[in-house]
Structure 1
Amino acid sequence: MKKNTSGPRFKALLEAANITTTGFAEFLDTAPQNVHNWYARGVPAHCMEEVARKLSVNSQWLKTGEGPKDPKELRLLDESGNTFDAQAIRGTYRVIEPTDVELPFYKEIAITPGPHKTQIIKDHSQSIRLPRSDLDSLEINHADAICARMIGNSMAEKIEDGSLLAIDRGLTQIIDGEIYAIEHDGMLRIKYLHRIPGNALRMRSHNSAEYPDEIFRAAQIEEQNIRVLGWVFWWSTLNKRRPPVPFL
């Protein structure tokens, strides 16, 4: 069996296409560290075909450096002994930087046993995708972006109940008047935040008629386990009422 020496060729292909380690990792839905390890260890056998297809090269060439590099030059035999162009079967592939970033989903759940106690956990069954260009324009590290769902009408009519939210965990410093996701003793809250002298904090709702301002002193912030999860930079709201069409 030929030795897998694909690491340097794999790295050179990415460099030639100006593809970053992180970008290709997102394209393959794997960790960047895995891709980085392949530079030295070689592309794993179970990934070789997929990686070769995405880079438009012959997998055998990628693995050993032998044979044609271009898969269009690869000929195979069918069951009748006839030759055919492997590329015609495999399709034409080209590397495309992923246009979207997948954001993990976090939610508030009840803790049992316990009276009305909740905690915020990652829900592996859900996620949302946002254009990577939007995150890049806001200088948001893709790994810091998470999503959650608005609960309640305290931010209506700005952010309606049930809206999906995107949160930048890389920005937890409070900038007065910005919207943040807060974990308040296991409860997920979305509020405008304002700093108050003495390391105090004001939480303000958009629906201030029903939800008056809340002020927490430094001791209360610690006692009630209040921490800023991150800055809310995106939200999506579905209009829950379809307007009737008149004159039908």
Structure 2
Amino acid sequence: MKKNTSGPRFKALLKKANITTTEFAVFWSTEAQNIHNWYTRGVPAYRMEEVARILSVNSHWLKTGEGPKDASTLRVLDQAGNTFDAQAIRGVYTVIEAIDVELPCYKETAIPGTNKTHVVKDPEHSIRLPRSHLESLEIKPADAICIHMIGNSMSERIEDGSTLAIDRGLTQIIDGEIYAIEHDGMLRIKYLHRMPGNALRLRSHNKAEYPDEIFRAEQIEEQSIQVLGWVFWWSTLNKRRPQVPFLS
């Protein structure tokens, strides 16, 4: 029986992929120290096949250093049943840990050659949220997107520039909940209320500066008012650093 000398190869694979022992430990629901011990003791025999699949290498090569390095299977599942690209793990580390979800960002942008705007995906930005946040609210990761708050209509609850997460799976209006809407190409964040005759009331948190708006059913259609989804999370960065008094 070939000796298990996998430790150095396992360590090199994680280093090349820029994966820490803490991140890798997530897959096993164990402590980072246990994974770190594999550097010297080798990957346990009962974990060898699974570790090899996750890192997209041949298990015999991982164990002994002999034979072809590459494995034919490049798609693997984590313990939560999520599919990952194991080849990506072996290269530049862009795979999100099993505890996180990466959400695409959308933004309002001008339509070339017109004076109108529309809401489109921003390929340069995304954010990460704990998967537990979504699961606790029964939100499918594929339905979640992010946007940024524009203006002060929702202050002091949601400040200008805040990042918001939207559940596109919940577009049914529940009175008093906060929603993202696209209003004739404009991205807006409002409390929504249903009104008689299929009308819709938009309410701002900053009611002193932004009075209620009511749209009749025909106006909703004419002005292309579309509910993008329910706002379930937001984050605000303080706009200024406080001055420390009595500095010498």
Aligned-residue Cα RMSD (Å) equals 2.4
The CA deviation at 1:71 is: 3.0
Are 2:65 and 1:75 equivalent residues in the alignment?
yes
The CA deviation at 1:52 is: 6.0
Paired AA for residue 219 in structure 2: Q
Q: SS at 1:126's partner residue?
A: strand
The CA deviation at 1:57 is: 8.0
- Distance across 2 between alignment mates of 1:243 and 1:143: 39
Residues 114 and 56 (structure 1 numbering): CA distance in 2 closer, same or farther, change over 3 Å? closer
Q: SS at 2:218's partner residue?
A: helix
Q: SS at 2:211's partner residue?
A: coil
Q: Summarize deviations over 1:136-182 as a string: whole Å, max 9, x none.
A: 00000110000000000000111011100000000000000000000
Corresponding residue number in structure 2 for 1:83? none
CA contact (8 A) 1:56 1:71 kept: no
Residues 57 and 232 (structure 1 numbering): CA distance in 2 closer, same or farther, change over 3 Å? closer
Corresponding residue number in structure 1 for 2:125? 126
Residues 111 and 54 (structure 1 numbering): CA distance in 2 closer, same or farther, change over 3 Å? same
Are 2:228 and 1:229 equivalent residues in the alignment?
yes
Paired AA for residue 158 in structure 1: R
The CA deviation at 1:58 is: 5.4
Q: SS at 2:104's partner residue?
A: strand
Give identity over the alignment, percent.
71
Residues 113 and 56 (structure 1 numbering): CA distance in 2 closer, same or farther, change over 3 Å? closer
Are 2:107 and 1:107 equivalent residues in the alignment?
yes
Q: Which runs of 5+ in 2 are unaligned?
A: 1-26, 28-49, 70-77, 81-97
The size of the alignment, in residue pairs, is: 174
Q: Summarize deviations over 1:44-65 as a string: whole Å, max 9, x none.
A: xxxxxxx964536851x5xxxx
Alignment of 1:128-207 (within 5 A): 128-207=127-206
Residues 114 and 245 (structure 1 numbering): CA distance in 2 closer, same or farther, change over 3 Å? same
Q: SS at 2:191's partner residue?
A: strand
The CA deviation at 1:96 is: 6.6
- Distance across 1 between alignment mates of 2:233 and 2:118: 23
Q: Which runs of 5+ in 1 are unaligned?
A: 1-26, 28-50, 62-67, 78-85, 87-94
- Distance across 2 between alignment mates of 1:183 and 1:224: 10
Paired AA for residue 119 in structure 1: H
Residues 56 and 147 (structure 1 numbering): CA distance in 2 closer, same or farther, change over 3 Å? closer
- Distance across 1 between alignment mates of 2:57 and 2:231: 45
Alignment of 1:15-30 (within 5 A): none
Paired AA for residue 221 in structure 1: I
Question: Which 4+ stretches in 1 moved above 3 angstroms?
Answer: 51-58
Q: SS at 1:243's partner residue?
A: coil
Q: Summarize deviations over 1:91-135 as a string: whole Å, max 9, x none.
A: xxxx676111010110000112223x1011101111000000110
Residues 220 and 242 (structure 1 numbering): CA distance in 2 closer, same or farther, change over 3 Å? same
- Distance across 2 between alignment mates of 1:57 and 1:107: 36
Q: Report the TM-score, using the length of structure 2 for normalisation.
A: 0.65
Alignment of 1:90-105 (within 5 A): 98-105=98-105
Q: SS at 2:197's partner residue?
A: coil
Q: Report the TM-score, using the length of structure 1 for normalisation.
A: 0.65
